[in-house]
Chains A and B, each alone.
Chain A
């Protein structure tokens, strides 16, 4: 392992194609290759079917695609992906392994890192190569109050990228690459058995996809206030989110939670009402294009990250804002 070369991306699938986070990791890998002359980029895709996705991965920069096909991988268990990834690492012997901090990646990447006798550079917003060809990982820590840069010092570096930190590249259909099927008994690796999945009926637009997100926090004082947030989101064709405090208080379901341990949203417009802006929350919304904050506390942290702010009582500001908005929107 000490003489590893190249980069291996641990791929993830969405609707038969490489997930957006996998395309982002491929883009990050291509950028790193600029500092690693002569080395190459590979990806491992483990799914029920991989043919179409493998071609897409090549168009996005992979020169080798390792594929593992198994019917059970239509809805993969983390341990199955770890087993598939471990075999791909054995084949590729890379110096760098890149994945993403997704729902699946959260379970896969740390386990893979420890299996490879190292630890994971978690939640990276940028990666680079230093003069000694070590991976440099930039990562927000202390809930975003500080930024650390660490050099990975093991023979193999493993990093998980934060979603939407790096732009995917446009596919280039003229790129060529090879597809290498691998055989791995992925089902034998699974010891955590999935018994049932219970979906919470989400009505309207998905929070992660919404162009406008209206979020409420502790400052709203109770669950009733969310009726008004619903109405505002309706006016703007958006979705409603909440801070962890509002979710923990039981005012809205936990699926509304925006933040480090909830959802990450990047809408055009994020309206934060009665949210203090704890770093925990900002980690989930700070990449929004425009943050508007309404808070009665002029010293609230949220105003540090917002583009527009109103200091005032939301119960007065919000109805007037909505009335004016209705007029403007006709």
Chain B
């Protein structure tokens, strides 16, 4: 039996975008055209977890599903170059709105049903734009599946998934019956880089594109959970006092004296 894996992946603004290039216009974040988007980092680690499961099982199929609009194909194809088998884009202007996870969850749930007989959904623990950390959990709830979060190790034994989940001071081993949703954290380790063969192969693959209509979703009739009232830059924090010295040693000594003056130490 082929192990059917779905990995969810989101195209996001590169979180390394310098603050100076990060603008906000009429309730939306704007970055210059030369700042290419990226696949959310935690999602790349979910793809890595899927590839490791595929290597361990010998017989697995990995479909990467992304919900959004205005995809940068060369970016969102990266999972294919890493070794995923299929890429499904749920591309609809209705999904350009990232602030309402209910819509994203409904689309992903419909996609998982349409793919059919999925054993496990792997997802990044959160996306680096809104850091909601709730779409995978909402997906599990909608599908009626268990969810295990922040995994640093994922193993499947028959019809059971076992994960090591990261705790603040250690880890917990948990198990659940398949099908299940598992979210993956950075402690899993760096995701592999695509090799040249993978990149060439990915170029020849065209993603499958589904719209809301293809999934039988009534987006307009869905009750939204949120309305965006404002999006703004945070108020700037402390005024910094730079400690200058004749050289680095002197600056170090002056720093200690200054902190003592302020009774901080």
Contact = CB atoms under 8 A, between A and B. Distances in A.
Interface of A: 79, 103, 106-107, 109-111, 113-115, 117-123, 136, 140-154, 191-200, 202, 208, 212, 236, 244, 248, 254-255, 260-261, 263, 268-269, 278-280, 286, 290-292, 294, 301, 303-313, 316-325, 328-329
Contact of A202 (B169, B229, B243, B248): B169
Contact of A254 (B142, B166, B243, B245): B166
B135 to A, nearest CB: 8
B225 interface: yes
A278 B176 CA distance: 36
A113 B138 contact: yes
A286 B177 contact: no
B131 A196 contact: no
Given A114-B137, A325-B265, A146 B29 contact: yes
A84 to B, nearest CB: 16
Contact of B186 (A200, A202, A248, A317): A248
A103 B29 contact: no
B128 A199 contact: no
A198 B174 contact: no
A291 B130 contact: no
B253 A324 contact: yes
Contacts of B168: 103, 208, 255, 263
18 contacts: A110-B141, A113-B225, A142-B15, A142-B29, A150-B229, A192-B148, A196-B173, A200-B170, A202-B169, A248-B190, A280-B15, A304-B19, A306-B238, A308-B240, A308-B258, A311-B242, A321-B253, A328-B256
B255 A310 contact: yes
B104 to A, nearest CB: 9
Given A119-B225, A319-B249, A324-B256, 4 more contacts: A120-B134, A147-B232, A269-B265, A308-B242
Give 9 nearest A-B pairs by CB, closest first.
A320-B252, A110-B134, A316-B248, A324-B256, A321-B252, A312-B248, A119-B225, A110-B137, A317-B252
A85 B12 CA distance: 33
A248 B99 CA distance: 29
Nearest to B20: A299
Interface in B104-146: 105, 125-126, 128-134, 137-138, 140-142, 146
A321 B264 contact: no
A86 B257 CA distance: 56
A159 to B, nearest CB: 11
B177 A191 contact: yes
B96 interface: no
A317 B249 contact: yes
Interface in B10-43: 13, 15-16, 19, 22, 24, 29
Contact of A143 (B128, B166, B239): B128
